[in-house]
Amino acid sequence: MVKTTERRERQRKALVLAAERTIAEKGLAGLKARDLADAIGCSLGAIYNLVQDMDELVLRVGSRTLARLDEALADSTRQCTRNSNDGATETLVAIAKTYCAFARENLQLWRTLFEHRMAEGSIVPEWAISEQMTMFRYILAPLRMLQPQASEPELALLCRTLFSAVHGVVMLGLEDKLVAVPAAALDGQIEALVRLIGKGLMQGA
Amino acid sequence: MVKTTERRERQRKALVLAAERTIAEKGLAGLKARDLADAIGCSLGAIYNLVQDMDELVLRVGSRTLARLDEALADSTRQCTRNSNDGATETLVAIAKTYCAFARENLQLWRTLFEHRMAEGSIVPEWAISEQMTMFRYILAPLRMLQPQASEPELALLCRTLFSAVHGVVMLGLEDKLVAVPAAALDGQIEALVRLIGKGLMQGA
């Protein structure tokens, strides 16, 4: 009995890794259950003994992507001094640049975090929601320092706004859209944007 | 001969309008040449006497979307006073809020502007590029006032950055992503973001 559970756990891990490799190479649209079954050497039906559906599989891959992003953000903020307003802006700049670098180096896996939609009628499970939300703590800490008078709900909104703004510059830039910031200028412009917002925040409301 | 040209022009117009209606209702993925042929009462092959390919058709729909966005931006900036730094920030706020309102009211047509990719090996024609680029003039004018010392290439980059930032907040917000600014707070947060950037710009580099 223990052996069956262990084997299943090992197979599930292999399935998630195979899905991760496929998405990294071909994008979310290239993910087919049939290919995954071949890759891990099981029948098509056996996949659904390992995960409930493809949504769960994509969320498990996303979970691994978020864990690596979390590590990258932890590394980049560890070196920042936080005990001043300037330090807080520097931390925000470091976070934004790390986010851009991570997206560039994990393009398809990062895209998948935003492209994936649950099947009709399914909702994102609690564990996946909380994994996404917990990433905001990196942005919240410096924002709290820059806006000591703001309430927690105000800070939470500002955090989403700042994230969305940087995400927009990164996303259009990496998709190489006509109206985007050109690739060569991307890091510099992200830094400039966050510094402008930092200055605005230091001036107070 | 004149009559044939006229008739073809009329049919082309009908085709573009049918495509626009379809995209507005079903999104870009719902656009099928077969349905369009039925809608305007011609054969499938006859469509390709009216447009070169589906790319041209989607670009012609995009052209109409951009023309309406241009009109909305012209309306919103006409009332703004431009002869002060505060006025320039107000103009940027008006532009950003108008952009958000336009995207909300034309969700599928607006999405199509960004979702559409040319078929492999095709490039976006010059007329479509210039229609997209000309929209930046609304943002450039107030930016030039806020940053009189900046060179035109610097302003052009800043313009793309500011656009991408606001676009990111609008896009994640209207897609209702977990990490997005919630719908009810969207207009307020866009205004707050642009004001922060405006403050940062007024402080100078």
Over residues B74-130, the pLDDT tens digits come to 999 987 766 677 899 999 999 999 999 999 999 999 999 999 999 888 999 999 999
Among the partner residues B161, B172, B203, nearest to A192 by beta-carbon distance? B161
Residues of A in contact with B164 (CB under 8 A): 168-169, 171-173, 179-181
Burial of A52 (0-12, 13-18, 19+ CB in 10 A): exposed
* DSSP one-letter string for A67-127: HHHHHHHHHHHHTS--SSHHHHHHHHHHHHHHHHHHHHHTHHHHHHHHH----TT----HH
Residues of B in contact with A166 (CB under 8 A): 165, 168
Average pLDDT, chain A: 94
> Exposure pattern of A183-203 as b/e (b: 16+ CB <10 Å)?
eebbbebbbbbbbbbbbbbbe
User: How high is the pLDDT of residue A80?
Assistant: 75
Q: Please say whether the beta carbons of A42 and A123 come within 8 A.
A: no
Q: Is B41 left (phi over 0), alpha (psi -120 to 50) or beta?
A: left
Question: Which pLDDT band holds residue A86 (cuts at 50, 70, 90)?
Answer: confident
User: How high is the pLDDT of residue B86?
Assistant: 80
Asked if pLDDT for residue B205 goes beyond 60, the answer is no
pTM for the full predicted model: 0.94
Dump pLDDT digits (tens) for A114-139.
Answer: 999 998 889 999 999 999 999 999 99
Show which residues on chain B lie within 8 Å of chain A, measured between beta carbons: 114, 124, 129, 132-133, 135-136, 157-158, 160-169, 171-173, 177-182, 185, 189-190, 192-193, 195-201, 203
Asked if pLDDT for residue A82 goes beyond 70, the answer is no
State the DSSP H helix or E strand holding residue B140, giving kind and residue range, or none if neither. helix B137-146
Asked if pLDDT for residue A205 goes beyond 50, the answer is no
User: From the CA of A178, how many Å to the nearest CA of chain B?
Assistant: 7
Q: State phi, psi for B119 to the nearest 5 degrees.
A: -60, 150
User: From the CA of A159, how many Å to the nearest CA of chain B?
Assistant: 9
Dump pLDDT digits (tens) for A147-175.
Answer: 999 999 999 999 999 999 999 999 999 99
Interatomic CA distance for residues B189 and B173, integer angstroms: 10
Which one is predicted more confidently, A79 or B62? B62
User: How high is the pLDDT of residue B74?
Assistant: 95
In single-letter form, the type of residue at position B126 comes to: E
User: How high is the pLDDT of residue B78?
Assistant: 86
The contacts of residue B152 (CB under 8 Å, 6+ apart) are none
Mark yes or no for CB contact B199/A195 under 8 Å. Answer: no
Mark yes or no for CB contact B197/A193 under 8 Å. Answer: yes
Question: Which pLDDT band holds residue B204 (cuts at 50, 70, 90)?
Answer: low
In single-letter form, the type of residue at position B96 comes to: A
Interatomic CA distance for residues A150 and A147, integer angstroms: 5
Burial of A67 (0-12, 13-18, 19+ CB in 10 A): exposed
The contacts of residue A119 (CB under 8 Å, 6+ apart) are A53, A54, A55
Mark yes or no for CB contact B167/A168 under 8 Å. Answer: yes
Mark yes or no for CB contact B132/A178 under 8 Å. Answer: yes
CA distances from A101 to A88, B106, B131 (A): 20, 33, 31
Interatomic CA distance for residues A140 and A148, integer angstroms: 11
Interatomic CA distance for residues A176 and A178, integer angstroms: 7
Burial of B127 (0-12, 13-18, 19+ CB in 10 A): exposed
Q: Look up residue B80 and give its two tokens.
A: 């703004």
Mark yes or no for CB contact B203/A203 under 8 Å. Answer: yes
Interatomic CA distance for residues A166 and A193, integer angstroms: 8
For the CA atoms of A187, A196, B69, B21, the dihedral, rounded to the nearest 10 degrees, stands at 50
Dump pLDDT digits (tens) for B9-59.
Answer: 999 999 999 999 999 999 999 999 999 999 999 999 999 999 999 999 999
Residues of A in contact with B178 (CB under 8 A): 124, 129, 132-133
Asked if pLDDT for residue B176 goes beyond 70, the answer is yes
Q: Look up residue B46 and give its two tokens.
A: 């006859």
Quick count: other Cβ atoms within 10 Å of Cβ B10?
11
User: How high is the pLDDT of residue A79?
Assistant: 76
Q: In whole angstroms, how large is the CA radius of gyration of chain A?
A: 20
ipTM topping 0.90: yes
Least confident segment among A13-22, A37-46, A74-83, A144-153: A74-83
The contacts of residue A49 (CB under 8 Å, 6+ apart) are A8
Q: What is the mean pLDDT of residues A2-8?
A: 85
Show which residues on chain A lie within 8 Å of chain B, measured between beta carbons: 114, 124, 129, 132-133, 135-136, 157-158, 160-169, 171-173, 177-182, 185, 189-190, 192-193, 195-201, 203
Q: Please say whether the beta carbons of B13 and B55 come within 8 A.
A: no
Asked if pLDDT for residue A81 goes beyond 50, the answer is yes
Interatomic CA distance for residues A153 and A159, integer angstroms: 10
Taking Cα atoms as reference points, which of B140, B4, B165 lies closest to residue B77? Answer: B140
